[in-house]
Amino acid sequence: MITDIIIMVLCTLGAIFILIASLGIYRMPDFYTRLSVTVKASTMGVGFILIAAMIYFHDFSVTTKIISIIFFLYITSPVAAFMISKTAYKRGIELWEDSVIDELKDTDFMEEIHKKNHKKTGQH
């Protein structure tokens, strides 16, 4: 009885976090904030739903698989989001006009990008 309530609460929390992720895509002003909100909220939502599944299927083999899925999900999601955002920045996706800090603007990172672009286009 109590486990059913815990499972329902965890599934509801997971659904709410996934709803927040979908609302973040609609409400955020630029690509980078959309990506940030979506990755964080959807990772939490899937994590809660997987924990509910772990409680429901209280078998050792299922539990270990779910724990490993949650572990790799929490390890790979931030790295993937970072790589996607870095690639978007390299490709010239603009920041929101009200962004306060652009940490990559004055770094060697941008000079490297410009050098590569000039080599491709043949400009000096």
Q: Write down the pLDDT at residue 48.
A: 97
CA distance 49 to 55: 10
pTM of the model: 0.76
Q: Write down the pLDDT at residue 12.
A: 97
Q: Write down the pLDDT at residue 124.
A: 53
CA distance 87 to 102: 15
- Domain tally, the chain: 1
Q: Write down the pLDDT at residue 21.
A: 92
Question: Between the CA of residue 43 and those of 3, 35, 86, 88, 97, what are the distances in Å?
Answer: 23, 12, 20, 21, 28
Q: Which residues of the chain have pLDDT under 70?
A: 99, 102-104, 106-124
Domain containing 19 equals 2-121
CA distance 11 to 53: 9
